[in-house]
Structure 1
Protein backbone atom coordinates (compact mmCIF):
# COMPACT_ATOMS: atom_id res chain seq x y z
CA UNK A 1 0.00 0.00 0.00
CA UNK A 2 1.34 3.42 -0.94
CA UNK A 3 0.35 6.23 1.41
CA UNK A 4 -0.33 9.83 0.42
CA UNK A 5 1.30 11.51 3.42
CA UNK A 6 0.06 14.95 2.42
CA UNK A 7 -3.56 13.77 2.57
CA UNK A 8 -2.99 11.80 5.76
CA UNK A 9 -1.38 14.79 7.50
CA UNK A 10 -4.36 16.98 6.61
CA UNK A 11 -6.73 14.25 7.79
CA UNK A 12 -4.87 14.02 11.12
CA UNK A 13 -5.18 17.79 11.65
CA UNK A 14 -8.87 17.80 10.69
CA UNK A 15 -9.53 15.02 13.19
CA UNK A 16 -7.65 16.94 15.89
CA UNK A 17 -9.73 20.07 15.15
CA UNK A 18 -12.96 18.05 15.13
CA UNK A 19 -12.18 16.76 18.64
CA UNK A 20 -10.86 20.07 19.99
CA UNK A 21 -7.29 18.78 20.31
CA UNK A 22 -4.14 20.88 20.09
CA UNK A 23 -3.11 21.98 16.59
CA UNK A 24 -0.61 24.74 17.39
CA UNK A 25 1.63 23.87 20.35
CA UNK A 26 4.54 21.84 18.96
CA UNK A 27 6.18 21.40 22.35
CA UNK A 28 3.00 19.86 23.73
CA UNK A 29 2.69 17.54 20.72
CA UNK A 30 6.28 16.37 21.18
CA UNK A 31 5.49 15.57 24.79
CA UNK A 32 2.42 13.57 23.72
CA UNK A 33 4.55 11.80 21.08
CA UNK A 34 6.97 10.80 23.82
CA UNK A 35 4.03 9.26 25.70
CA UNK A 36 2.95 7.32 22.62
CA UNK A 37 6.48 5.97 22.12
CA UNK A 38 6.42 4.85 25.76
CA UNK A 39 3.11 3.07 25.19
CA UNK A 40 4.70 1.32 22.19
CA UNK A 41 7.64 0.31 24.37
CA UNK A 42 5.31 -1.07 27.04
CA UNK A 43 3.38 -3.06 24.43
CA UNK A 44 6.69 -4.43 23.11
CA UNK A 45 7.76 -5.51 26.59
CA UNK A 46 4.49 -7.42 26.95
CA UNK A 47 4.80 -8.79 23.40
CA UNK A 48 1.20 -7.67 22.83
CA UNK A 49 1.15 -7.83 19.01
CA UNK A 50 -2.24 -6.13 18.54
CA UNK A 51 -1.31 -3.30 20.87
CA UNK A 52 2.12 -2.94 19.23
CA UNK A 53 0.42 -2.32 15.88
CA UNK A 54 -1.96 0.19 17.42
CA UNK A 55 0.82 2.08 19.19
CA UNK A 56 2.98 2.12 16.05
CA UNK A 57 0.04 3.74 14.27
CA UNK A 58 -0.37 6.27 17.10
CA UNK A 59 3.30 7.24 16.84
CA UNK A 60 2.96 7.70 13.07
CA UNK A 61 -0.24 9.74 13.50
CA UNK A 62 1.46 12.06 15.97
CA UNK A 63 4.45 12.46 13.64
CA UNK A 64 2.14 13.32 10.76
CA UNK A 65 0.28 15.85 12.87
CA UNK A 66 3.52 17.50 13.96
CA UNK A 67 4.78 17.57 10.37
CA UNK A 68 1.54 19.23 9.23
CA UNK A 69 1.75 21.77 12.05
CA UNK A 70 5.29 22.60 10.90
CA UNK A 71 4.25 22.83 7.23
CA UNK A 72 6.41 19.88 6.23
CA UNK A 73 5.55 16.84 4.09
CA UNK A 74 6.71 13.92 6.21
CA UNK A 75 6.80 11.56 3.23
CA UNK A 76 9.15 13.83 1.31
CA UNK A 77 11.28 14.32 4.41
CA UNK A 78 11.54 10.57 4.99
CA UNK A 79 12.60 9.88 1.41
CA UNK A 80 15.23 12.66 1.57
CA UNK A 81 16.60 11.35 4.87
CA UNK A 82 16.70 7.77 3.59
CA UNK A 83 18.87 8.93 0.68
CA UNK A 84 21.29 10.48 3.20
CA UNK A 85 21.27 7.35 5.39
CA UNK A 86 21.96 5.10 2.40
CA UNK A 87 25.17 7.06 1.72
CA UNK A 88 26.38 6.96 5.31
CA UNK A 89 29.40 4.95 6.32
CA UNK A 90 30.59 4.23 9.84
CA UNK A 91 34.16 3.72 10.94
CA UNK A 92 35.26 1.24 13.60
CA UNK A 93 34.54 3.82 16.32
CA UNK A 94 30.98 4.37 15.10
CA UNK A 95 31.72 7.83 13.69
CA UNK A 96 29.53 8.49 10.68
CA UNK A 97 30.32 10.23 7.43
CA UNK A 98 28.85 10.35 3.94
CA UNK A 99 30.22 8.36 1.00
CA UNK A 100 31.53 10.49 -1.79
Structure 2
Protein backbone atom coordinates (compact mmCIF):
# COMPACT_ATOMS: atom_id res chain seq x y z
CA UNK A 1 0.00 0.00 0.00
CA UNK A 2 1.50 3.37 -0.97
CA UNK A 3 1.22 6.53 1.09
CA UNK A 4 -1.63 7.92 -1.02
CA UNK A 5 -3.65 4.75 -0.42
CA UNK A 6 -2.84 4.83 3.30
CA UNK A 7 -4.05 8.44 3.46
CA UNK A 8 -7.31 7.58 1.71
CA UNK A 9 -7.93 4.47 3.83
CA UNK A 10 -7.14 6.23 7.11
CA UNK A 11 -9.53 9.07 6.35
CA UNK A 12 -12.24 6.67 5.15
CA UNK A 13 -11.93 4.80 8.45
CA UNK A 14 -12.25 8.04 10.43
CA UNK A 15 -15.36 9.04 8.43
CA UNK A 16 -16.92 5.60 8.90
CA UNK A 17 -16.40 5.80 12.66
CA UNK A 18 -17.53 9.42 13.02
CA UNK A 19 -14.08 10.63 14.12
CA UNK A 20 -12.56 14.05 13.54
CA UNK A 21 -11.99 14.92 9.88
CA UNK A 22 -12.25 18.71 9.99
CA UNK A 23 -10.65 20.19 13.12
CA UNK A 24 -6.99 20.60 12.16
CA UNK A 25 -5.91 21.98 15.54
CA UNK A 26 -7.46 19.02 17.35
CA UNK A 27 -5.76 16.58 14.98
CA UNK A 28 -2.39 18.25 15.60
CA UNK A 29 -3.01 17.97 19.35
CA UNK A 30 -3.82 14.28 19.02
CA UNK A 31 -0.76 13.78 16.81
CA UNK A 32 1.40 15.43 19.45
CA UNK A 33 -0.03 13.10 22.10
CA UNK A 34 0.84 10.11 19.93
CA UNK A 35 4.43 11.34 19.58
CA UNK A 36 4.59 11.44 23.38
CA UNK A 37 3.26 7.90 23.60
CA UNK A 38 5.83 6.73 21.04
CA UNK A 39 8.78 8.25 22.87
CA UNK A 40 7.56 6.69 26.11
CA UNK A 41 7.24 3.27 24.44
CA UNK A 42 10.72 3.61 22.94
CA UNK A 43 12.35 4.73 26.19
CA UNK A 44 10.74 1.89 28.12
CA UNK A 45 11.39 -0.72 25.44
CA UNK A 46 7.69 -1.51 25.19
CA UNK A 47 6.48 -3.94 22.54
CA UNK A 48 3.90 -1.46 21.17
CA UNK A 49 6.49 1.05 19.92
CA UNK A 50 5.73 0.15 16.28
CA UNK A 51 2.02 0.58 16.90
CA UNK A 52 2.67 4.05 18.32
CA UNK A 53 4.68 4.97 15.22
CA UNK A 54 1.75 3.75 13.11
CA UNK A 55 -0.60 5.98 15.11
CA UNK A 56 1.65 8.96 14.32
CA UNK A 57 1.49 8.09 10.63
CA UNK A 58 -2.30 7.83 10.71
CA UNK A 59 -2.77 11.18 12.45
CA UNK A 60 -0.26 12.76 10.08
CA UNK A 61 -2.08 11.60 6.96
CA UNK A 62 -5.33 12.85 8.47
CA UNK A 63 -3.84 16.33 8.95
CA UNK A 64 -2.58 16.21 5.37
CA UNK A 65 -6.02 15.27 4.09
CA UNK A 66 -7.76 17.96 6.14
CA UNK A 67 -5.46 20.59 4.67
CA UNK A 68 -5.60 19.35 1.07
CA UNK A 69 -2.06 17.97 0.98
CA UNK A 70 -1.28 14.85 -1.06
CA UNK A 71 1.31 13.59 1.41
CA UNK A 72 2.84 11.14 -1.04
CA UNK A 73 3.60 13.97 -3.49
CA UNK A 74 4.90 16.17 -0.67
CA UNK A 75 7.18 13.46 0.71
CA UNK A 76 8.54 12.55 -2.72
CA UNK A 77 9.23 16.23 -3.49
CA UNK A 78 10.92 16.77 -0.13
CA UNK A 79 13.07 13.66 -0.57
CA UNK A 80 14.34 15.02 -3.89
CA UNK A 81 15.19 18.32 -2.17
CA UNK A 82 16.97 16.54 0.69
CA UNK A 83 18.96 14.35 -1.69
CA UNK A 84 20.42 17.43 -3.39
CA UNK A 85 21.43 19.20 -0.17
CA UNK A 86 25.05 19.39 0.92
CA UNK A 87 26.12 19.66 4.55
CA UNK A 88 29.39 20.41 6.28
CA UNK A 89 30.17 19.95 9.94
CA UNK A 90 31.02 22.96 12.06
CA UNK A 91 33.75 22.97 14.73
CA UNK A 92 31.40 21.19 17.14
CA UNK A 93 30.58 18.47 14.61
CA UNK A 94 27.05 19.79 13.96
CA UNK A 95 25.92 19.36 10.32
CA UNK A 96 25.24 22.74 8.69
CA UNK A 97 23.35 22.95 5.38
CA UNK A 98 25.42 24.75 2.74
CA UNK A 99 23.09 24.33 -0.27
Q: Name the residue aligned to 2:61.
A: 64
- Picking from 51, 57, 61, the partner of 2:48 is 51
Q: Name the residue aligned to 1:14.
A: 12
Q: Name the residue aligned to 1:35.
A: 33
| Superposed counterparts of 1:58-97, under 5 Å | 58-93=55-90, 94-97=95-98
- TM-score normalized with structure 1 length: 0.84
Identify unmatched segments of 5+ residues in structure 1: none
Q: What is the SS of the residue equivalent to 1:33? A: helix
User: How many angstroms does 1:68 deviate by?
Assistant: 1.3
Q: What is the SS of the residue equivalent to 2:98? A: strand
- TM-score normalized with structure 2 length: 0.85
Instruction: Give RMSD over aligned pairs.
Output: 1.4
